[in-house]
């Protein structure tokens, strides 16, 4: 007779299948741990994906009530044979599971493109990784946004087998350097994760490209141990690993208690951390450089073009003429792009109302914020709410 206690009992056994030596797995587990105190009846056991076969008998004997597993390790008969609810979390994969919590990887690519499109880049470039769902979705979002802005997109498969071993690169250096040197400049380059971006940064510098004057680089996942150790520091999209972990706990709890739940939950990305690798300084006009610095620090958000001119001590006509000649867009367009970027960050991570966000970012009204968000992102303020 089974000793398993049902979901309404005092104890619920939950199996967590993650390799915490991997950064993204460890970050999801951190999110899971953050909220376990709200489920005191859960008895949790960790197992690494590579150990599943070795420990399958012990796991079956333990009889878990539910499983949370990294989506890139959710395939295989060992888990499905346990016959209990299974929540997969991570990049969206085609796996047999009860529910899946996944990141909005396509939006991550779009945000990376938006960061680069603040500057007059002549081309965009990305590294393909066929067969990897997260890479393909991020690259697709990046390419869509760039093409919509009229920027040509170049791609390479040269890094497909880059990680031959954990401690060294396996790269066609000659081919990679040639590809980078042939990109129309200034170019905006997207590495679909920070590992790939780190390799591209090394290759760009060895190929003789100045970062960021000739090549602007941005990665994804915001691994601070990597991006802040690089020279220059690398901009990166924030992947919501911890938020996905918390959401996976909530979903599994609903499944095990017999309540309604969503079969798929999309966790929006949390924004972009801008660092030196995308702070383009290919301009020579000191007035335009000062204007860009103020805009990126939020100096133009509250007072618009007139206030910016006041801080710079110049006429509006002079700034408009020199800014458009150097950057290829109006001062107002640059300010609005920065306002939208800041508003998205506040909507996703802050507690302000939409009206409060609009006021904080220099919009005349919540309606103005909604209109510009819809125009630039295709989304409304409520679409960015719900995850911290």
Sequence ranges of the domains in the chain: 12-103+241-271, 105-238+273-278, 286-384
What CA–CA distance (Å, rounded) separates 144 from 374?
A: 17
Half-sphere exposure of 142 (CA within 13 A, CB side): 33
Confidence at residue 315, expressed as pLDDT on a 0 to 100 scale: 94
Has residue 3 got a pLDDT over 90? no
Residue with the larger pLDDT of the pair 281 and 25 = 25
Has residue 2 got a pLDDT over 50? no
Average pLDDT over residues 358-369: 89
Q: Which CATH number fits domain 286-384: 1.10.150.20, 1.10.10.60, 3.40.1160.10, 3.40.640.10?
A: 1.10.10.60
Listed range (20-29, 76-85, 369-378) with the worst mean pLDDT: 76-85
Average pLDDT over residues 250-278: 89
Has residue 76 got a pLDDT over 70? no
Residue with the larger pLDDT of the pair 51 and 372 = 372
CATH class of 12-103+241-271: alpha beta
Has residue 5 got a pLDDT over 50? no
Has residue 164 got a pLDDT over 60? no
Residue 231: CB atoms within 10 A of its CB come to 10
Residue with the larger pLDDT of the pair 199 and 157 = 199
Contact assessment for residue 111 and residue 71, using Cβ atoms and an 8 Å cutoff: no
Contact assessment for residue 65 and residue 256, using Cβ atoms and an 8 Å cutoff: yes
Average pLDDT over residues 156-167: 53
Has residue 174 got a pLDDT over 70? no
Has residue 314 got a pLDDT over 70? yes
> Do the domains spanning 105-238+273-278 and 286-384 agree at the CATH topology level?
no
Structure tokens at 361: 């970012």
Confidence at residue 300, expressed as pLDDT on a 0 to 100 scale: 60
- DSSP characters for 285-350? -HHHHHHHHHHHTTTTTTTHHHHHHHHHTS-HHHHHHHHHHHHSS-HHHHHHHHHHHHHHHHHHH-
Q: Residue 286: exposed, middle, or buried by beta-carbon count in 10 A (0-12, 13-18, 19+)?
A: exposed
Confidence at residue 234, expressed as pLDDT on a 0 to 100 scale: 96
Confidence at residue 302, expressed as pLDDT on a 0 to 100 scale: 65
pLDDT tens for each residue of 104-132: 999 999 999 999 998 888 889 998 888 78
CATH superfamily of 105-238+273-278: Response regulator (3.40.50.2300)
166 pLDDT band, cuts 50/70/90, is very low
Please state, in angstroms and as integers, the Cα–Cα distance from residue 386 to each residue in 188, 245, 247, 311, 381, following that order.
31, 14, 11, 37, 11
The mean pLDDT of the chain is: 83
pTM of the predicted structure, to 2 decimals: 0.71
Residue with the larger pLDDT of the pair 178 and 388 = 178
Confidence at residue 153, expressed as pLDDT on a 0 to 100 scale: 92
Confidence at residue 336, expressed as pLDDT on a 0 to 100 scale: 83
Structure tokens at 342: 């800041």
Task: Say what percent of the chain tops pLDDT 90.
Answer: 32
Has residue 9 got a pLDDT over 80? no
Please state, in angstroms and as integers, the Cα–Cα distance from residue 224 to each residue in 18, 154, 198, following that order.
21, 27, 12
How far does Cα 333 stand from its chain's mean position?
24
Contact assessment for residue 211 and residue 181, using Cβ atoms and an 8 Å cutoff: no
């Amino acid at each position: 007779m089974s000793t398993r206690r049902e979901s309404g009992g005092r104890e619920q056994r939950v199996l967590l299948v993650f390799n915490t030596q991997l950064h993204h797995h460890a970050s999801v587990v951190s999110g899971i741990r953050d909220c376990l105190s709200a489920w005191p009846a859960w008895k949790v056991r960790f197992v690494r994906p590579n150990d599943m076969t070795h420990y399958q008998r012990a796991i079956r004997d333990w009889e878990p009530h539910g499983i949370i597993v990294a989506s890139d390790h959710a395939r295989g008969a060992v888990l499905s044979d346990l016959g209990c609810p299974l929540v997969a979390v991570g990049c969206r994969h085609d796996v047999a599971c009860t529910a899946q919590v996944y990141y909005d990887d396509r939006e991550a690519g779009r945000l990376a493109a938006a960061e680069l499109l603040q500057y007059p880049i002549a081309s965009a470039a990305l590294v393909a990784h066929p067969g990897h769902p997260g890479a393909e979705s991020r690259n697709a979002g990046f390419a869509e946004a760039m093409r919509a802005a009229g920027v040509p997109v170049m791609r390479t498969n040269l890094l497909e087998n880059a990680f031959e071993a954990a401690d060294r690169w396996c790269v066609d250096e000659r081919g990679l350097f040639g590809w980078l040197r042939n990109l129309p400049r200034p170019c905006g380059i997207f590495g679909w994760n920070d590992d790939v971006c780190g390799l591209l940064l090394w290759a760009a510098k060895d190929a003789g490209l100045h970062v960021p004057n000739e090549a602007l680089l941005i990665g994804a996942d915001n691994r601070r141990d990597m991006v802040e150790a690089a020279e220059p520091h690398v901009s990166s999209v924030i992947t919501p690993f911890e938020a996905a972990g918390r959401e996976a706990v909530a979903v599994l709890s609903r499944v095990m208690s017999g309540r309604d739940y969503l079969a798929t939950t999309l966790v929006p990305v949390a924004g972009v951390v801008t660092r030196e690798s995308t702070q383009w300084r290919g301009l020579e006009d000191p007035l335009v450089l000062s204007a860009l610095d103020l805009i990126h620090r939020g100096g133009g958000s509250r007072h618009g073009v007139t206030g910016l001119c006041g801080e710079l001590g110049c006429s509006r006509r002079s700034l408009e003429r020199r800014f458009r000649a150097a950057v290829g867009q109006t001062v107002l367009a640059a300010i609005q792009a920065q306002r939208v970027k800041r508003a998205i960050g506040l909507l996703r991570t802050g507690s302000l109302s939409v009206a409060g966000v609009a006021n904080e970012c220099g919009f005349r009204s919540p309606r103005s914020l909604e209109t510009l968000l819809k125009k630039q992102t295709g989304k409304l303020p409520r679409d960015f709410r719900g995850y911290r």
